[in-house]
Every structure is written in structure tokens, then in C-alpha cells.
Structure 1
Amino acid sequence: MTITKGCSFTGIEYPDSDGKPMAESDFQRVYLVYATEVLDIYFQNQPDVYVSSNLCFYYEEGNPKAYISPDVFVVFGTAKRKRRSYKVWEEDGKYPNFVLEITSKSTVSEDQGTKKGLYAFWGVQEYFQYDPTGDYLDPPLRGFQLVAGNYQTIPAEKQDNGNYSICSKVLGLELRLERGELRFYEPTTGNKLLSHQESEVARQRAELRADQEAQRAERLAAKLRELGVDPDTVQ
């Protein structure tokens, strides 16, 4: 969430955690978890795409103070496996291709300044910022693409209802703001990416609708039989 400076370490040790909470509040946490989960599901069959969040990201070998914790990041071309921390020199120099920061009061200045400059220096192709409370960014969802070493704003596609979307060419997805809430969509199908919980709820609703349809059909068939009509002969 924040860039850590001036921490003291004994020897060359790279801690797995900075001891800070994952997010400033529930407003940030829920979208951090959502974004990480749906992207992990989306890329689950690609063994060379790594998705993570709030992980200690070390970028200078021998200097344990040189790290940040991106809220959500995606790295292409590196193994999909569990990590305690991410050390660039152990990953063939692979930096994130995509970063999403969930902005809060305590992080907005770093998200807008230091982190943005660092991501550009690393060559992070796309950098997105989202403010779930709408208090610190206007508009609350922003996307930037790296052009000649500098970030340029990715145009947003606005809708009549006030919602809008920003296309991520790196992910092949759309990030949409719907009534203030961040959602990911697959542009080719128009389908919204669902978390495990959302998928389960959708499955249960589909089963309920199917059961209701079956019950209605059975009641209709029973009435037809009472009238002496074979339901199988009714088109």
C-alpha cells in the first residue's frame, strides 16, 4: 500500500511482510480482494501469468529497504506459483505489466507521485488508479499507458447512465465503473468477471430458476391431464 523508507534490517534479509494492514479500510479492501481474485481466475489456465496483491516487491538486490507493495499487479512471462515476496532479480528481471492501486487518504500522494514515477521507470505498461470512496480522485477510475517512458491517460468510454469504462490492452479486459463500483469485463463477450462467491450465487440462482420453470411446467401438465389432454401432444 505504501512505500517503506528507512526500515532497519540485520544483514541481507528480505521480510515477507511490512507488518501493515492489507488496506486502509473496508472500502479499499473489498476491491483489492475482488480485483485479485477475478484476475487470478481469468488467467488461471495460463501458467506464465502471475497475479498477486499487497506483496512485498523488492527491486534492488542487496537493499531490503528498496521495496513497495503494489495493491494488485500482473506479471506476464513468469511462473504462476505461490511466493512469500517478489524479488525482481530472482524473476529474470520481470517487472509488472499491469498495476492497480486502490487509492485512500494515506496513499493518494504516493499513488499520484512516487509510485507513478517508479512504475514508469520500471516500464510498467499500464497503471490504473481507483478511488472507491470518490473522495480523492476525479474521476474515481483512471488508466494510464506508458508511451516513450511517460504515462498518458487512456481515454474512457462514457455511457448515458453515467457509468464509464477504460480498456486495458495489456489484460485484454475492460475496467468499468458502475455506480461507483469497479468491475472487470471481457469485451468480446460482454461478460462480467465474477469472483468465486459471485459465481456460486449465479449458479444457485440459475438452479432456482430452472426448478421454478420445471414446477410450472409440471403444474400445467397436470391441469391438461385433468382436462383429458395429453401434455405431450401440446406444442
Structure 2
Amino acid sequence: MRHNKHLFLKNQILTTLKRMENRWPTLTLNVNHSPMPVEALDYHFQNQPNVYVSGDLLIYYEKGSSKKSVAPDVFVVFGVPKYDRKIYQTWAERKTPDVVIEIASPSTYKKDEKEKPELYQRLSVQEYFQYDPTGDYLPQPLRGRTLDDKGRYQDIPTETLKDGTKILTSRLLGLELRLEKYKLRVFDPLTEEYLFTYSEEADARRQAQKEAMHERKRKEWAQRDALLERQRADKELQQLAQREALLERQRAEQAQLKAEQERQRANKLAEQLRALGINLDAID
């Protein structure tokens, strides 16, 4: 019973997530918060201890120089332990990021387009993606590049769906970056579902629990109504049986009364005939 309850709640959460997909904002920058893909990707890789996901975190890439640093909006590193860091030092971690996502803004888009591709190429960042939420700063609102055999960036081909959605496939992440009307979403082709953040999953869980409670209440009310209906039907049947019994008793009493009246009439007739000297007993 407990397993069925958990399975029901899990299905409710998945259903709620799918229904709420189009209502959630995606990939918005905030000065005090990491962009949403950090949380979504971290949630996606939560069970893989050697995948580190972060964003807006200073990456120092040259030992002894505090100026040699960069802070990607989103980056993913495979092969390093998953734990919170205040800074990321490539020589200490012995690993540079594998995937970087930069989100264009008025103050960063020029560096994202010119300086950072050269830096990330030099740091052997395997995949570099750029996203322009407004479409005002970059030639393409979504662009992806991957290192070739010579260590040079080559554009990742863009696929366009019938509805106009642009798709870039990240071979390393095993995911798709999808641009839907200037909104960037991360899609898992294996599950055929969009990635969600911890907060979105929690919202969906609360919503699913609320809906499960409503469903439970609905069933309880339905059971109560069914019970009341049964009780009403039983009462009606009981009343009907009582009426039938009463009618049957009345019919029996009427039959007895009629029989008694017939007997009395017969006796009276016999007395009248005897008074006339007619003996009915002597008549064959």
C-alpha cells in the first residue's frame, strides 16, 4: 500500500511538472543569483558525484596570477568531486571546464563573442555555448561551438523544428539546448522531458501533494455519498417491505373478515330454514 502511494505521488509530480512546464521562466540572469541552468543541470547530475556544475564562480587558470580569471555564467566539469567551492583553480583541480554557457548582456556580450572563445579554446573547453535572451547583442540568439581534432572551435549545427524551435545538441552533456521564442530550455532526449530545477521540482511536489489530497478528499466524499445513497436505498427498501407486509396483513385480515361474514350469513340462513321446518342436514 505504501509503495502504491509513493508511486501515485511520483506520477502526480511528473504529470504536474509537464503541465507546469510552459509557466516557468527560463534562463534569466540576476545579480544576486545564479542563472537557472546551473540549478537545472545540477539537479540533472545530482546522482553523479564526479560532475561539478556551477556558475558566476571565478575560475583561476594561471597559478600565481590573480588577474588570470574568468567567471562563466554556467560551466560543467566532468571528473572532479561535487562539493561547494568559493573559487575554482584549474591547476588544483587538474581539470578545466568541459562545457561553458555564457549569457549575453550589455556589459559582457563583446567579450563573450571575441575574447572568451579564444580563452576557452586555449583552456580546452570542449563545448562553448552563447545565449542572447533578447536577441539584441549577438548575430545569433543561440550559438554553440565544439573543439575539433586540432583544438579549434567549430560551430555546432543548429536544427530547426517545424514550430521554429532552435536546437543545439551537447554531446558531452547528452542534452539539447532548445531556443523557444528567445527562451532557452534544456531538454533530455532520453526521457523526452525538459530539465527542472530543485525549486521547480519542489513546487511540482507540493502541487502534486495538494492535488493528491484533493483527490483523496474527492474519493472520501464520493465514498460518503455512496454510503448515504446505500443507506437511503436500504431505508427505502425497508419502508417498501414494511408497506408490503402491512398490505399483506391487511389483505389477510380482510380475507378473514370476509370468511367470517360468509360463515355468519350461512349460519343465519340455516336458522331461517330450520324455522321454516327445513332441515338442511336431511337434504341429500
TM-score range, shorter chain: 0.7 to 0.9
SS of the equivalent of 2:153 reads: strand
In 1: Cα distance, 2:56 partner to 2:161 partner: 32
Please say if residues 127 and 170 of structure 2, whose CA atoms lie closer than 8 Å, have aligned partners that are also in contact: yes
Letter of the aligned partner of 1:110 in structure 2?
K
Q: Give the equivalent residue in structure 2 for 1:112.
A: 113
Residue matched to 1:184: 186
Q: Which structure has greater strand proportion?
A: 1
**CA distance in structure 2 between the partners assigned to 1:196 and 1:34 by the alignment:** 10
Please state how far the C-alpha of 1:27 moved relative to its aligned partner: 4.5
Q: Which runs of 5+ in 1 are unaligned?
A: 1-25, 230-235
* Larger Rg computed on CA atoms: 2
* Distance (whole Å) between structure 2 residues aligned to residue 137 and residue 28 of structure 1: 17
Alignment RMSD:
2.2
**Counterparts of 1:53-72 in structure 2 under 5 Å?**
53-72=55-74
Partner of 1:52: 54
Show the counterpart of 1:207: 209
Does the CA-based 8 Å contact 2:28-2:35 persist in structure 1?
no
Aligned 8 A contact 2:35 2:73 in 1: no
| 2:166 matched residue in structure 1 | 164
- Return the alpha-carbon distance in structure 2 between the equivalents of residues 205 and 164 of structure 1: 31
Paired residues of 2:61 and 2:69 also in contact (CA < 8 A):
yes
Q: Which amino acid aligns with 1:113?
A: K
SS in 1 for 2:230: coil
Q: What secondary structure does 2:162 align onto?
A: coil
Give unmatched runs, 5+ long, in structure 2: 1-26, 232-284
- Shift in Å, 1:178: 2.5
Q: Contact conserved, 1:28 with 1:132, CA < 8 A, in 2?
A: no
Higher mean C-alpha deviation, range 187-196 or range 154-163: 154-163
1:1-40 equivalence runs, <5 A:
27-29=28-30, 32-40=34-42
Distance 2:227 2:53 in 1: 58
Q: Which residue identity does 1:105 align to in structure 2?
A: P
Letter in 1 for 2:195: L
Which secondary structure state, in structure 2, belongs to the residue aligned with residue 194 of structure 1? coil
Letter in 1 for 2:70: I
* Counterpart Cα distance in 1 of 2:100 and 2:73: 8
For 2:186 and 2:157, the matched residues in 1 are separated by: 16
Displaced runs of 4 or more, over 6 A: none
**Alpha-carbon shift at residue 123 of structure 1 (Å):** 1.2
Inter-CA distance 224–185: structure 2 relative to 1 (3 Å threshold): same
Aligned residues: 203
Distance, in Å, in 2 between the alignment partners of 1:222 and 1:62 is: 75
Which has more helix, going by share of residues? 2
- Name the residue aligned to 1:123: 124
**Residue 74 of structure 1 is aligned with which of 67, 73, 76?**
76
TM-score (norm 1): 0.78
Residue 176 of structure 2 aligns to a residue whose secondary structure is strand
Q: C-alpha offsets along residues 27-48 of structure 1, whole Å, 9 cap, x if unaligned? A: 4238942111111122222222
Change (3 A) 1:222 1:84: closer
1:208 CA displacement: 2.8
1:168 Cα shift? 0.8
Alpha carbons of structure 1 residues 95 and 220: separation in structure 2 relative to 1, 3 Å: same
2:196 corresponds in structure 1 to: 194
Shift of 1:227: 4.0
Output the CA distance in 1 between the equivalents of 2:224 and 2:63: 75
Moved more, 45-54 or 127-136: 45-54
- Taking the TM superposition and a 5 Å limit, the aligned residue runs for 1:130-145 are 130-145=131-146
Single out whichever of 206-215 and 182-191 deviates more from structure 2: 206-215
Q: Give percent identity, aligned residues only.
A: 45
Equivalent of 1:228 in 227, 230, 233: 230
Letter in 2 for 1:48: N
